[in-house]
Amino acid sequence: MKFGERLKDSSKRHGSKIILALDITGPQSSRAERAEALLVELGDSLAGVKVNFQLLLPQGLQGLARVAEICSEKALPLIADIKLNDIESTNLETVELLFGSGFDAVIANPFAGHNEGLSKVIARARALGKGVILLVYMSHAGAEEGYALKVGEEPMYLRFARKVREWGADGAIVSAKSLEIIKDVRRTIDPWQLILSPGIGFQGGEADKAIRAGTDLAIVGRSIIDAKSPRAMLREFNQSISDS
């Protein structure tokens, strides 16, 4: 089963279109423990889980072994948000380490290119039943300085959306705040390829609007993990999507 199919299956089984971003701050010594507790509490109502450098750097792969175990136990796809962007040999070594440590997919930056950049990474992921998701449009204000730059008359994000399709990646990351861009990307990529949208909550994006525009799954972090009741907040997000 392809990664995208497993992610959609998890979404259906858990009745959720939310990928939890474990963007945990605070004392480094307690970050992994807090992440584990959140997964135990919320895992039955999530589509997937995303981990970025806020956990990976202080904890390392060994320090996140229990996070990966909980995701595996709950059949929650685990995504490494490292925006992979290096030469082929480094990229391959990186994904081998991540996939061997329980991660199911990696987010990569298409600026690295295909030839001697990401082509073998995508092939290796496919061979292992893992996923590669390409970063098409970010959710911060400065995204327009790179991802909206025009090559001729075409914005970079549309060129990258075509790369999602041409390279056979599993999907695209597109900001939930950029609804027209979501629509453009949805029209450009293949139907089986997913759009995952961050930037929801603290950054101003709205999950229900992103889903209506063409997003498949919404990525939510601080609005849930820093809430007084993470479970109640997750329920609210799931309900807003189901009502949309």
Active-site residue, selected from the candidate residues 2, 74, 83, 120: 83
Tens digit of pLDDT per residue, the chain (244 long)?
899 999 999 999 999 999 999 999 999 989 999 999 999 999 999 999 999 999 999 999 999 999 999 999 999 999 999 999 999 999 999 999 999 999 999 999 999 999 999 999 999 999 999 999 999 999 998 988 888 888 888 999 999 999 999 999 999 999 999 999 999 999 999 999 999 999 998 787 899 999 999 999 999 999 999 999 999 999 999 998 987 6
Cβ atoms 173, 139 nearer than 8 A? no
Q: Record the pTM.
A: 0.96
What tokens appear for 167 in the block?
């390279």
Q: What phi and psi, each to the nearest 5 degrees, are found at residue 226?
A: -100, 5
Q: Is 17 a catalytic residue?
A: no
Task: Find, among 180, 132, 141, 176, the residue nearest to 158 by Cα.
Answer: 180
Topology of domain 3-243 in CATH is: TIM Barrel (3.20.20)
